[in-house]
Amino acid sequence: MYKTDDFPFVQRYAVIGSRRASNLLWGGSLLLGSFGFLTTGVSSYLQKNLLFFIDAQNIVFFPQGLVMCFYGLLGFFFSWYLFFLAWWDVGGGFNEFNLEDGVVHIFRWGFPGKNRRVDLIYTVNSVQSIRIELKDGIGSRRAIYMRVGQNKPVKDQRDIPLTSISTPLTVEEIETQAYQLASFLRVPLEM
């Protein structure tokens, strides 16, 4: 989050997507592990030691070697999925609040295709409130939402997530960001 000093009526928040070092680290670890499983499964089928530290004669191909081949292929494809997520930066983008032009611009990158660019533009007058969702426990969630809608009926309201889903923030950071944004937009803050 940053506030531009040159334009006191504009705030722009960067949202981190899938292009993180942790995704690359997990993808690399998964690729190495899946290579080991796949090589061990193939070694048990051929009854030859393709890896110097595994004795393939001790592993029966059906069912152990076959299952190891399956896990190796599954891990291989999942690791490449993580690499492609990082390459495409799925979920990355920005939130821009421009009081001078009266526009709220929400932009995110999605999966490749015709809907890759998620580009939402609202007027500042359509923003009804900023909402904080704090849920602890197994499915813990800490997020800031912007409630938009033209009319007062509940069915016309939408909650747009403003924070990155995968970025864990403390309760204090969430509350501070939400309070600053609500006071900047001059809308109420809901808990």
Domain ranges in the chain?
2-17+90-190, 22-88
Phi, psi of 49 (to 5 degrees): -85, 100
SS3 87: helix
Read off the DSSP letter of residue 18.
Answer: S
**pLDDT at position 7:** 54
> Which residues lie below 8 Å from residue 71, measured CB to CB, with a gap of 6+?
34, 37
**pLDDT at position 66:** 95
Residue 56, both tokens: 């393939």
Integer Cα distance of 172 and 121 in angstroms: 28
Q: Where are the alpha helices (DSSP H) in the chain?
A: 21-46, 66-88, 171-185
**CATH 1.20.120 matches 2-17+90-190:** no
**pLDDT at position 164:** 79
- Specify the residue for token string 């299952």: 67
- Specify the residue for token string 């009319």: 151
- Going residue by residue through the chain, which has 191 residues, state the pLDDT in tens, using 9 for 90 and above: 444 455 578 999 999 899 999 999 999 999 999 999 999 999 999 988 887 777 777 888 889 999 999 999 999 999 999 999 999 999 999 999 999 999 999 999 999 999 999 999 999 999 999 999 988 878 778 889 999 986 555 556 789 999 876 667 888 999 999 999 999 999 999 98
Residue 158, Cβ neighbours under 10 Å: how many? 13
